[in-house]
Structure 1
Amino acid sequence: MIIDYKLTYPSGTATAVLINGFHTPKGDVMAKKQVHGFVKFFASSFVWAFFQWFFTGGDTCGFVQFPTFGLQAWKNSFYFDFSMTYVGAGMICSHLVNLSLLLGAVVSWGIMWPLIRGLKGEWFPANIKESSMKSLNGYKVFISIALILGDGFYNFVKVLYFTATNIHANMKKKNLNNTFSGNQKQLPLDDLRRNEMFARENIPIWLACTGYIFFSVISIVVIPLMFPQVKWYFVLFAYIFAPSLGFCNAYGAGLTDMNMAYNYGKVALFVLAALAGKSDGVVAGLVGCGLIKSIVSISSDLMHDLKTGHLTLTSPRSMLVSQAIGTAIGCVVAPITFFLFYKAFDVGNPDGVYKAPYAIIYRNMAILGVEGFSALPRHCLQLCCGFFVFAIVANLLRDLGPKKVGRWIPLPMAMAVPFLVGGYFAIDMCVGSLIVFAWHILNKSEAGLMVPAVASGLICGDGLWILPSSILALLKIRPPICMSFFPSR
């Protein structure tokens, strides 16, 4: 894919350009400036998160519940919660992503949810909580799922189309003279050197096959023991089909820079949920989704890393060993981190800080696969169909319409997130976008250099505070002050 088909893998190429840029005299000066900016904003973000902690002595206390635009807007989740993580993320994401988030928040929390809430007693029973899937929360979850599925379906078909046409074009061009050695004669010296290094340090096919079979056998035995609802033959089928799906995903990522693993996982979720039946369908669907997603996702991630290695003259074997070490560390660190959050915080609470929105979305996808459309509240199916079609039409307009129009078409996948999470998330991201916009106006060259470093510092500083705050929560040490807001009498 890298040498013969010359796939670009844009993210891997960008990483390689960044790494190669550091190893120049000018790059060294730039790197020092970026490190200084990262450290400064990392420290500021950490101190700010520490300061905020003192005022969070209750469920709706602290700066995270500050009614920036008034109490009525706050009740509909429109406020700035001073999260440096989301501000930093907004600085990294494009303006289109952030504006799409804001549009999704306005459409859902500004218009739709207040209107649907007013139909309580007509569209859904008035005597059940809004958090029930048969109440307002059902509309929030399933409409966001419709947007995600519509966007995912369109991009899935699009990537498959580009992949198929590209492979077909390459097969037509290929002839006896189009061999590896024949291609190399026309390449620049640097490319010849890269290709020679990459081919010399290739990974033996027997090693890949042996490793895959070994871990497949372990999974077929262990996963049904961990999750009795998942039959061993479900795992076997997943491992049989995963390599072909992984190839399609890796090839598509090389062309479009899009990792479609989550969409392959959603297909597996619906198939396994339907096959396993009502009693086991939800768990079987979720486990199957995670299994397919993990296998397929790592294929494109590894190809991005190998592309980076190819352009930086790094041995593919070194890249594979590094991936293996990182995966092994992740197998230890990830469960510890999960249980630290799970024990210290109220993870999954729709009204809490850690809502885990995608956990709710995927669980209800599995329920939909088991129960069918009977799981939806009244008129929810019609709304879901409308937003599913909207997602496809929006993507078509962006890809096929004039560029001046397409650049302003919102991203349905981004719009879907605030439908469930709330408007505050979109506002935080837009603040980050506003900072980047202003910085580019004031000093464009400095902004291009420093924005990634500053954003990373804000995210890491705020994120690091989670560790001491979770330890304090486990030790039952509560913040001393509750800063909350109420209307005046």
Structure 2
Amino acid sequence: MIKVLYISTKSMYQQYKTKPQLSATSDCQDNALQSMDEEKRNETFLADRIPLWLASSGYVVLAAISIGVMPQIFKPLKWYFVLVCYILAPVLAFCNAYGSGLTDWCLVSTYGKLGLFIFSAWAGSHGHGVIAGLAACGVMMVIVGAASDLMQDFRTGYLTRSSPRSMFVSQLVGVGMGCILAPLTFWMFWKAFNIGDPNGEYKAPFAVIFRALIGVEGFSALPTHCLQLCYGFFAFAVVTNLVRDLVPRSISQYIPIPMAMAIPFYIGAYFAIDMLVGTVVVFLWQRVNRKRSEIYVPAVASGFICGDGVWSVPAAILALAKVSPPICMMFVSSKIAGAIQTSIT
């Protein structure tokens, strides 16, 4: 967070110092170095600006609805908790959207944890602080995350010469569909799979961290010496990131990224294996034809990711129908394999 805030503040100061002007009427035409394609993008993007009064009015209306509805769903969540969330969220949303645009790293979960700490402590144990904190955390994460997603959509719209208003309307339609489809999808997964099983396919690591470790049990839920290991790896991550930032590019490209190293430990090795296979494919593709790979790699990768995600829905339907796969593969130690073979024979 400190690094992202530093980069955001530095970039904002540099932009304020240079005071670049982006005008659809004068500057775009006067800049001889600007390509015609970029001029057209600027003209399209600035022609359909969303009025400030419309954005402000919509935010106030949504805040009023949330203040009235959220406490009815989550009783420990007081109305003034939701009000404070909507007051603090714009500042955090701006920081997250700006930092995400600079670094391509969304810190919405980190801002959510901050809200969890604040509102859980505010409500206290007698006021069901865990439920209040989790609900307030969800409100802040939705606001902060939606702002970042919308800015990413605007960036895509700018590159494709799409109208900002059409992008905004599409976002509203998607959010409205998500309000209906997301609970249904969650219910289907909840009925089909054992969500939260540490040995299952859907471990739900965020639920364990947010609910058990942070909200209820605290450090007492951690295994022996786990906290000391956290201190050590935290220091290792900070030092490694500092070294990557300070050494030349020719050296830093061979230093591993701690965040990428942490992903397999966090959600399982299957994700790291997928990334490794994809990296090898991209590397070989670049060696064969770099120009074509730069053009088609994003589209091919998006297709694989979309296909992997779409398959989850048929898998859930088959699980609801109690359909068992025709082949089962399992990797165990030689000792356990021998015991299984002995029992079968």
Normalised-by-shorter TM-score class: 0.7 to 0.9
Alpha-carbon shift at residue 443 of structure 1 (Å): 4.4
Indicate how the Cα distance of structure 1 residues 446 and 396 shifts in structure 2: closer, same or farther if over 3 A, else same.
same
Contact 1:270 1:365 in 2 (8 A): no
Which residue of 1 is the match for residue 87 of structure 2? 240
Contact 2:63 2:86 in 1 (8 A): yes
Indicate how the Cα distance of structure 1 residues 470 and 424 shifts in structure 2: closer, same or farther if over 3 A, else same.
closer
| In structure 1, distance between residues paired with 2:269 and 2:30 | 55
- 1:332 counterpart = 2:200: no
Indicate how the Cα distance of structure 1 residues 189 and 404 shifts in structure 2: closer, same or farther if over 3 A, else same.
closer
- 1:320 counterpart = 2:168: yes
Alpha-carbon shift at residue 429 of structure 1 (Å): 3.0
| In structure 1, distance between residues paired with 2:50 and 2:172 | 13
Indicate how the Cα distance of structure 1 residues 361 and 409 shifts in structure 2: closer, same or farther if over 3 A, else same.
farther
1:163 aligns to what SS in structure 2?
helix
Which residue of 2 is the match for residue 109 of structure 1? none
5 Å matches for 1:103-182? 156-174=1-19, 180=23
Q: 1:404 aligns with which of 242, 250, 255?
A: 250
- 1:473 counterpart = 2:319: yes
- 1:267 counterpart = 2:110: no
- Listed one character per residue, the Cα deviations across residues 383-439 of structure 1 (whole Å, up to 9, x for unaligned) are 211111112111111111222331122222222232244434423432332333334
| In structure 2, distance between residues paired with 1:438 and 1:172 | 44
Instruction: Output the aligned Cα RMSD.
Output: 2.8
Structure 2: stretches of 5+ with no match in the other structure: 332-336
Contact 2:112 2:137 in 1 (8 A): yes
| In structure 2, distance between residues paired with 1:201 and 1:328 | 22
2:165 aligns to what SS in structure 1?
helix
Contact 2:189 2:316 in 1 (8 A): yes
Alpha-carbon shift at residue 342 of structure 1 (Å): 0.8
- 1:286 counterpart = 2:118: no
Indicate how the Cα distance of structure 1 residues 447 and 265 shifts in structure 2: closer, same or farther if over 3 A, else same.
same
| In structure 1, distance between residues paired with 2:12 and 2:297 | 38
Which residue of 1 is the match for residue 272 of structure 2? 426
Structure 1: stretches of 5+ with no match in the other structure: 1-155
Which residue identity lines up with residue 320 of structure 2 in the other structure?
A: L
5 Å matches for 1:76-95? none
Which residue of 1 is the match for residue 207 of structure 2? 359
Which residue of 1 is the match for residue 77 of structure 2? 230
2:65 aligns to what SS in structure 1?
helix
| In structure 2, distance between residues paired with 1:219 and 1:307 | 29
- Listed one character per residue, the Cα deviations across residues 80-106 of structure 1 (whole Å, up to 9, x for unaligned) are xxxxxxxxxxxxxxxxxxxxxxxxxxx
- Listed one character per residue, the Cα deviations across residues 219-272 of structure 1 (whole Å, up to 9, x for unaligned) are 111111111222211111010011122222222233333322222222112222
Indicate how the Cα distance of structure 1 residues 477 and 300 shifts in structure 2: closer, same or farther if over 3 A, else same.
closer
Q: 1:220 aligns with which of 63, 67, 91?
A: 67
Alpha-carbon shift at residue 347 of structure 1 (Å): 1.5
Contact 1:223 1:230 in 2 (8 A): yes
Name the count of aligned residue pairs: 330
Indicate how the Cα distance of structure 1 residues 484 and 194 shifts in structure 2: closer, same or farther if over 3 A, else same.
closer
Contact 1:346 1:352 in 2 (8 A): yes
Alpha-carbon shift at residue 203 of structure 1 (Å): 0.8
| In structure 2, distance between residues paired with 1:259 and 1:272 | 22
| In structure 2, distance between residues paired with 1:195 and 1:438 | 37
Alpha-carbon shift at residue 352 of structure 1 (Å): 0.8
- Listed one character per residue, the Cα deviations across residues 59-115 of structure 1 (whole Å, up to 9, x for unaligned) are xxxxxxxxxxxxxxxxxxxxxxxxxxxxxxxxxxxxxxxxxxxxxxxxxxxxxxxxx
| In structure 1, distance between residues paired with 2:271 and 2:40 | 47
Contact 2:108 2:144 in 1 (8 A): yes
| In structure 2, distance between residues paired with 1:417 and 1:423 | 8
- 1:256 counterpart = 2:103: yes
1:278 aligns to what SS in structure 2?
coil
When normalised by structure 2's length, the TM-score is: 0.84
Alpha-carbon shift at residue 455 of structure 1 (Å): 3.7
Q: Which structure has the higher relative contact order (CA within 8 Å, separation 6+)?
A: 1
- Listed one character per residue, the Cα deviations across residues 93-142 of structure 1 (whole Å, up to 9, x for unaligned) are xxxxxxxxxxxxxxxxxxxxxxxxxxxxxxxxxxxxxxxxxxxxxxxxxx
| In structure 2, distance between residues paired with 1:165 and 1:448 | 30
Which residue of 2 is the match for residue 134 of structure 1? none
- 1:202 counterpart = 2:49: yes
Indicate how the Cα distance of structure 1 residues 475 and 171 shifts in structure 2: closer, same or farther if over 3 A, else same.
closer
| In structure 2, distance between residues paired with 1:257 and 1:418 | 20
Alpha-carbon shift at residue 273 of structure 1 (Å): 2.3
Alpha-carbon shift at residue 197 of structure 1 (Å): 3.2
Contact 1:281 1:366 in 2 (8 A): no
Alpha-carbon shift at residue 371 of structure 1 (Å): 5.8
Alpha-carbon shift at residue 185 of structure 1 (Å): 5.4
Which residue identity lines up with residue 42 of structure 2 in the other structure?
A: N
Alpha-carbon shift at residue 480 of structure 1 (Å): 5.1
Which residue identity lines up with residue 214 of structure 1 in the other structure?
A: V
| In structure 2, distance between residues paired with 1:165 and 1:456 | 33
